[in-house]
C-alpha cells in the first residue's frame, strides 16, 4: 500500500453465516497465496443480528474445505463504526447494500462484490441458506472469481 497501512475490507450479507464469511475467507486465502496477506485486514458482518456469535453454516464450511479455503470466526452484526473502520464494505446483494446506505454508509465505500468482477454475468451473490448444497457451490464460484478480481484491483491501486 502506498501509505504503508493495510486496506480494511468488510464483506457483508444478511446473517453473516454463509456468503460474507465465505467471501472474507476466500479473499484472505487468495491474498495469503499471493504473499500479500499483510496488506489487508479482512472481516465480515451481517445486516441482521440473529446469528451473532454463531460459526459459519456447516454447508459453507464444507464448500470452503473442499476448495482448500480455511474458515473461522463467528457472525456479528454491522455496526455504525464499521463505516469509519473499513475502507470498503462489499455487499453480497442490493438489499444489503441499500441497508448500509440507509444506515449512513458512505456511497464511495459501499459496493456490490460482484461489481468488482468484469466476468460476472450477475449483480448479486444469491443467498444459499434455504437451498441445497449445490447453492453453496455456486456461491463459492461467484465469490472466488469476484475476490480474485478485487484483489487484482486493490493491488494495482
Spans of all domains in the chain:
7-156
Which CATH superfamily includes the segment(s) 7-156? Response regulator (3.40.50.2300)
Beta bridge partners of 91: 12, 112
Least reliable range by pLDDT among 67-71, 75-79, 129-133: 129-133
Exactly one of 10, 13, 116, 147 is catalytic; name it: 13
What's the distance, CA 111 to chain centroid?
11
Q: Are 42 and 130 a contacting pair, CB within 8 Å?
A: no
- Between strands 88-91 and 7-13, the pairing is parallel
pTM greater than 0.85: yes
Exactly one of 19, 28, 61, 76 is catalytic; name it: 19
87 phi/psi in degrees, rounded to 5: -80, -35
Exactly one of 57, 82, 117, 127 is catalytic; name it: 127
- Residue 147 annotated among the catalytic residues of the structure: no
Q: Where are the alpha helices (DSSP H) in 13-132?
A: 19-33, 58-66, 82-85, 94-102
- Residue 82 annotated among the catalytic residues of the structure: no
Q: pLDDT band at 78, cuts 50/70/90?
A: very high
- Residue 62 annotated among the catalytic residues of the structure: no
Burial (0-12, 13-18, 19+ Cβ within 10 Å), 33? exposed
Q: pLDDT band at 4, cuts 50/70/90?
A: confident
Residue 38, SS3 per DSSP: helix
Q: What is the mean pLDDT of residues 51-55?
A: 95
- Whether the predicted pLDDT of 138 surpasses 50: yes
CA torsion sign for 30, 90, 53, 17 is negative
The three grid cell numbers given for residue 99, joined into one nine-digit string: 441497508
Amino acid at each position: 500500500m502506498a501509505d504503508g497501512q493495510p486496506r480494511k475490507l468488510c464483506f457483508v450479507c444478511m446473517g453473516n453465516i454463509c456468503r460474507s464469511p465465505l467471501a472474507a475467507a476466500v479473499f484472505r486465502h487468495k491474498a495469503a497465496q499471493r504473499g500479500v496477506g499483510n496488506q489487508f485486514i479482512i472481516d465480515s458482518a451481517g445486516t441482521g443480528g440473529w446469528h451473532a456469535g454463531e460459526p459459519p453454516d456447516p454447508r459453507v464450511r464444507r464448500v470452503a474445505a473442499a476448495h482448500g479455503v480455511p474458515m473461522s470466526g463467528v457472525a456479528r452484526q454491522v455496526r455504525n463504526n464499521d463505516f469509519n473502520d473499513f475502507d470498503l464494505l462489499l455487499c453480497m446483494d442490493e438489499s444489503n447494500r441499500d441497508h448500509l446506505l440507509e444506515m449512513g454508509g458512505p456511497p464511495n465505500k459501499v459496493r456490490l462484490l460482484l461489481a468488482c468482477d468484469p466476468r460476472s454475468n450477475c449483480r448479486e451473490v444469491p443467498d444459499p441458506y434455504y437451498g441445497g448444497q449445490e447453492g453453496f457451490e455456486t456461491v463459492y464460484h461467484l465469490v472466488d472469481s469476484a475476490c480474485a478480481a478485487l484483489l487484482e484491483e486493490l493491488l494495482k491501486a
